[in-house]
Amino acid sequence: MKRIIFDTDPGIDDAMALLFLGSSSSVFISSLTTIMGNASTEQCTRNALFLRKIYGLKMPVHKGSSTSINGQTPSKYPDLVHGKNGLADIVLTEERSLPDPGTAHSVMSSTAKKHPNDLTVLAVGQLTNVALAILKDKSFSGNLKEIVFMGGTINEPGNVTPWAEANIWGDPEAAEIIFKSGIPLTMVGLDVTMKTRITKTFLRTITSKLGKLGRFLQNINTFYADYYAKSMNLDSFPIHDSLAAMFVTNPDFFVTKKGILSVKKNGEERGRTLFEENQQGPHSVCLDVNADKVLTEYEKLVTNHY
Ligand code: RIB
Ligand code: CA
Check if 297 has its Cβ closer than 6 Å to any atom of ligand 1: no
Instruction: Find the CATH number of the domain harbouring 106.
Output: 3.90.245.10
Cα within 13 Å of Cα(36), Cβ side: 22
pTM of the model: 0.97
Across the range 209-222, mean pLDDT stands at 95
Measured CA to CA, the distance from residue 273 to residue 159 in angstroms comes to 13
Across the range 285-295, mean pLDDT stands at 98
Is position 9 annotated as part of the catalytic site? Answer: yes
pLDDT score at 94: 64
Domain that holds residue 215: 2-305
pLDDT score at 93: 76
Find the ligand nearest to 168 CA: 1
∠ CA 10-75-63 to the nearest 5 degrees? 35
Looking only at the bridges linking them, the beta strands covering 283-289 and 254-263 are antiparallel
Q: For residue range 95-114, what is the model confidence (pLDDT) as tens digits? A: 678 999 999 999 999 999 99
Q: Which atom of ligand 1 lies at the shortest distance from residue 10's CA?
A: 8
Instruction: Look at the chain and count its residues.
Output: 306
pLDDT score at 92: 84
Is position 240 annotated as part of the catalytic site? Answer: yes
Cα–Cα nearest to 127, from 92, 166, 74: 166
Q: Which atom of ligand 1 lies at the shortest distance from residue 193's CA?
A: 2
Q: Which atom of ligand 1 lies at the shortest distance from residue 166's CA?
A: 1
Number of domains in the chain: 1
Q: Which of 6, 9, 227 to mutate to test the pocket of ligand 1 (most atoms within 8 A of CB)?
A: 9
Which residue's CA is the closest to the ligand 1 atom numbered 10?
125
Across the range 230-239, mean pLDDT stands at 92
pLDDT score at 96: 74
Identified catalytic residue from 62, 82, 105, 240: 240
